[in-house]
Amino acid sequence: MTRTRRQEIAAKLREGERSFEDLRHELVLTVRTLEDDLGHLRKSLRAGGERLVVRPAVCADCGFHLSSTALHPPGRCPKCRSPRLDGPWFHIA
Ligand SMILES: [Zn+2]
């Protein structure tokens, strides 16, 4: 019995928080595919009374906390323009 990729992602996020990049490397996905999967997951979880919780990205250089809860990593820090951003992180509540 093989689980679908989205079920796989959901299972990982029920175990605990994962960053976008963790998920992407563990499942070997493109940014676009993972973002798409997370979007679908967010909708389907809602139907089951669960919630995809997003913790926004943080700049690795200046520590700025981004406010965006977008499902993909931002390109650059809006404060210092650094491309070195950690997160966003996700889990299921
Ligand atoms: Zn920054």
pLDDT tens, position by position, 34-62? 999 999 999 999 999 999 999 999 999 99
Whole-number Å distance between alpha carbons of 63 and 41:
29
User: Separation of 70 CA from ligand 1 center, angstroms?
Assistant: 17
Is residue 66 scored above 70 in pLDDT? yes
Ligand 1 (ion): which residues have CB within 5 A?
59, 61-62, 64, 77, 79-80, 82
pTM: 0.92
Secondary element (H or E) of residue 33: helix 31-47
Residue 2: which pLDDT band, with cuts at 50, 70 and 90? Answer: confident
Domain boundaries, the chain: 5-92
pLDDT in the model for residue 29 = 96
Whole-number Å distance between alpha carbons of 82 and 49:
38
User: Separation of 30 CA from ligand 1 center, angstroms?
Assistant: 24
pLDDT tens, position by position, 8-32? 999 999 999 999 999 999 999 999 9
